[in-house]
Amino acid sequence: MNKRSLYVSLAIMVIVITIVTLMAIPVAQGHTLIRGTAAILIPSVFVSVVGVMTLIGMNKTNSKGFDERMLKARGDAALNAFVVTLITILCIGFVSEFTDGALPLTFFEASMVSAMTGVGTFIIIADMQDAYLGMKEKRKLSAICFGAVGFFIVLTVLSGISRNPNADNVVTMLSLGITWIAVSVEMFIKMVCDKRAEKMETADEES
Amino acid sequence: MKNLKLKSARAALDLSQQELADRVGVSRQTINAIEKGDYNPTIKLCLAICKVLGKTLDELFWEE
């Protein structure tokens, strides 16, 4: 990852963390007034992030950001994520339909759960095939950051529920937090696997 | 199927996977995947590897 991409990625992470924090504080206090703001903020954040990532991707076509194997792996991951998102939407729909609305999800919350499932699936599958942002450097730091933010969001939501069981955006924030934690766990597992594989390869090369 | 020809050609030049990857312009994992037979490279990448290792396509990628 070159310096420019690293700075852009860090800037995106800071912006996302700031917005998530700003959204999480009212939830933690059990307020229910954030629904309207969140409905605008969350899609805005995702559109911004996707936009910036697309711009980086466009600039990377001529650089060594992704090689052909990575591009193929990312394509496969995107397809898998798409399928998983569709299945999630269908599952939510079916469960909601067959339980006569016992699943208390609004359309916005169901969309967010589906979207976060898709995003998480893409990141995890792509990263398992060493194709997510070519992220090899600062991997431990990234995993810790993802995990810390995820835990922060989940703890904040739990704190909010304990103060006000009817707090808004609980499902949305939980899906966001769980996705980040899942990505963090995957990154840690991948790190351990990579270390073992490297040891085996080194031993193999020496023999 | 493992590509032992590629591995031995690389070892003959005393190159690590990372060094070969840098010279070819791909990631180390891609070279590793090709050697393990997990990934079929395009002809463009095969040619790049052949040029770096000073071998022909047949010598590195032809399966008998």
The predicted model scores a pTM of: 0.71
pLDDT digits (tens, 9 = 90+) for B32-62: 889 988 899 999 999 999 999 999 999 888 8
- A201 to chain B: nearest residue by CA? B32
Q: Do B27 and A205 touch (CB under 8 A)?
A: no
- Per-residue model confidence as pLDDT tens digits over A131-147: 876 556 677 888 888 88
- Domain extents for chain B? 4-61
Q: Residues A101-159: pLDDT tens digits?
A: 677 777 778 888 888 899 899 989 998 888 876 556 677 888 888 888 888 888 888 88
Tell me which residue in B29, B32, B45 faces A68 most closely, judged by beta carbons. Answer: B45
- CA–CA separation, A148 vs A143, rounded Å? 8
Predicted pLDDT of residue A3: 63
Q: B25, A68: Cβ pair inside 8 Å?
A: no
- In this prediction, residue A95 carries a pLDDT of 84
The average pLDDT across A28-49 equals 57
Question: Is pLDDT above 70 for A85?
Answer: yes
pLDDT for A53 beyond 70: no
**Rounded to 5 degrees, what are φ and ψ at A62?**
-100, 0
Alpha-carbon distance of A24 to A165, in angstroms, equals 15
Give the list of residues 6+ apart from residue A187 with CB closer than 8 angstroms, or none: A127, A139, A142, A143, A146
Cβ partners under 8 Å of residue B35, min gap 6 = B2, B3, B6, B7, B10, B17
Q: What percent of chain A has pLDDT over 70?
A: 63
Spatial distance between the Cα atoms of B25 and B40, rounded to a whole number of angstroms:
16
**CA torsion sign, A136 to A139 to A145 to A148?**
positive
Chain A residues bordering chain B (beta-carbon distance below 8 Å): 64, 67-70, 130, 134, 136, 201, 205
The single residue listed with the structure tokens 């917005």 is: A19
Domain covering B4-61 in this structure, CATH number: 1.10.260.40
Q: Do A201 and B45 touch (CB under 8 A)?
A: no
Q: What's the pLDDT score for residue A133?
A: 62
With 50 as the cut, is the pLDDT of residue A63 above it? Answer: no
CA dihedral over A8, A11, A17, A18, signed as positive or negative: negative
Span A160-194, pLDDT tens digits: 788 777 777 788 888 888 999 999 999 899 888 88
User: What is the ipTM score, two decimals?
Assistant: 0.87
